[in-house]
Structure 1
């Protein structure tokens, strides 16, 4: 059975890369075999700071898991990381993911995948039914992508909403209207959408926006 968001279940909560590899990895081989994990990171380009910060963590946790006997439920299977640099270009993210899946035969994809990269990856993941874990993206448009990122709705938007309403109700700021300012890309658009809905429901009139 293909692993997707509907079949992932509650096992996604509180996980790291090593703990999901065993129960959710696709095409796992016989006990004791190697599990190939593709890592798509922006090691160069404008988003390199995110990847360069996250890459050592990926390498550390995999070395630790392997040194401690591998994936126990897979008979001690070792994890092999296959790296790819998308140069901070979403189109390259999709191309590298396809290469890792079809040529390198990885069983799981992960990386410091941001919102724009998530959107570019979606058609590839849906076509090839590859389970993928993003560390950063706040949402997903694919049944095969799971994220540890802060959710757009109950994360970013709810937190901002609660702060504004606390200023109004608890601290007596006279907040009756608001102008919505946001970054005009996937994450910003989604947070703005959810926040606008929440503020309107709490009696704040939205009188404009700037993107």
Structure 2
């Protein structure tokens, strides 16, 4: 199934003392590398965040405007960067702070045929939804971005609000696959560490 992918890597990491989440290590790879690996089936990939200079060939890079404007603005920037690359029906949106997200992506991709008309998003067994691990209709997501921009709701806007008009099905993914790193306690619990110099 054809899809593009947007990897969100532009947060301040304020609860990590400013250490970029994308550069944290898990099982021998950075969290950004693990996110790129999880999205490996994508036709085109774009990383939204500060320029790292070490992206694989062919991976696009862009930044939300203004910087640190939040994930809704980052999704908009990612869609804009992919616009010249053609338009597959689906776009995968991933935050870069979920070290085991590859397991979720496989489950979501398998659930996509026959799911909600506008896509699928990850959910835990207890029903907690994670919109930053989902496949969305490119056209529907673009319409949602345009509507949010028209009402000045992109900058620091809620991703749930951005997706509210979409017909998206929540799909239960493997336990732990969308656990994310927001604090050093999270990092320790997940086995995520700072890269050794």
Q: Compute the TM-score of the two structures, normalised by the length of structure 2.
A: 0.33
Question: Normalized per residue, which structure has more strand?
Answer: 2
Higher relative contact order at CA 8 Å, sep ≥6: structure 1 or structure 2? 2
Q: Compute the TM-score of the two structures, normalised by the length of structure 1.
A: 0.31
Structure exhibiting the larger radius of gyration computed from Cα positions: 1
Question: Normalized per residue, which structure has more helix?
Answer: 1
